[in-house]
Amino acid sequence: MAESITTIVLSGQAQKVANQMKDSGTFPDALSAAKFGMSYAIKYYWEDVDTPEKLSKLNSIYDSRGTTYNIGSLDPDNYIDKLMSALYPGTNSPYAFMRALMCFGLNKLGDLLDEGRLFPINKAM
């Protein structure tokens, strides 16, 4: 059965990193930074996020102190939905998975940011 959620909330820590990435002037907004975080997690930390179980576990760890995003504006062309279906066949909670990936990826990028190694950003692409 398809997921019925219409919004997601990032964790407080992930939101902080997304805001810092936006404030650096490299990202147009925190949401783009969050999507970048999601891709970063998939590309460089696949072993940590390759099953729905792992993602569910991550989701249960993260708090909900970040900004609330509307799914409609977050994934207007359903690209993320399709991506989640491709990566996690049979899932019916693609946006919950997306949220876990975003938080995980942003936290990893936050580590780079703290070490002063996040920029130039092409190194993380």
Partner 1 sequence: MLHFDRMTLIDFGPYKGKQVVDFSDKSGVSIFWGNNGRGKTTLLNAFRFALFGVIQRRNGVLKNISEMSNDEAKLEGRYGFTVILDMTNDEDKYKLTRQIKQRPGLLAPGSDEDYEKVLFLAKNGSILSPEDRDHELNMIMPEQVARFFLFDAELLQEYEELLETNTSDGEQIKNAIEKILGVPVLQNGVIDIEDCLSNYEKQKSRAARADDKTVQLGQEMENLTANIEEHQNIVREKQAELGELIRKKQILEGRMADTDKLRNWIIQRNEAQKTLSKNEEDLEQVQADIREHMKNAWRGMLLSTVRDLREKIEHEESVLEAKKQKRNVADRFIIEMKKAITDRICPICGQEVSGSIIEHLRAKIEESTNEFSGLSEEERQRLYNLQGQMSSIRQLSVDVRDEKQEIIYLENRKEELQISIGEQKQLIGELADNIKRYGEASEEADILSISKDHSEVEQNIRDLRRGIEAENKKLAELKTSKEHVAATIDKMAGGTDYRLASKKYELCDHVFRIFEESKTRYREKLKQNVEKDATALFVNLTGDKDYVGLKINDNYGLEIIHRSGRTVPGRSSGYEHIVALSLIGALHKNAPLRGPIIMDSPFGRLDPTHKANIVRTLPDMAEQAMLLAYIGEIDDQVARKELGNHLIHEFRLERITSMHTEIR
- Rounded Cα distance between 124 and 81, Å, is 24
Instruction: Kindly tell me which of 16 and 35 has the beta carbon lying closer to partner 1.
Output: 35
- Rounded Cα distance between 22 and 75, Å, is 19
Amino acid in the structure at residue 88: Y
In the chain, the N- to C-terminal Cα span, in Å, equals: 34
**Position 116 contacts partner 1 (CB under 8 A):** no
**Position 25 contacts partner 1 (CB under 8 A):** yes
Footprint (CB under 8 A) of partner 1, residues 86-115? 86-87, 89
Among 1, 4, 28, 68, binds partner 1 (CB under 8 A): 28
Instruction: Kindly tell me which of 13 and 39 has the beta carbon lying closer to partner 1.
Output: 39
**Position 76 contacts partner 1 (CB under 8 A):** no
- Rounded Cα distance between 95 and 16, Å, is 20
- Rounded Cα distance between 65 and 11, Å, is 5
Q: What is the CA radius of gyration of the chain?
A: 14
Give the tokens for residue 83.
């991506």
Query: Given the rule CB under 8 A, which of 5-13, 22-30, 55-63, 106-114 is the region that contacts partner 1?
Result: 22-30
Name the residues that contact partner 1, by CB under 8 A.
Answer: 25-28, 32, 35-36, 38-40, 42-43, 46, 79, 82-83, 85-87, 89, 119-122, 125
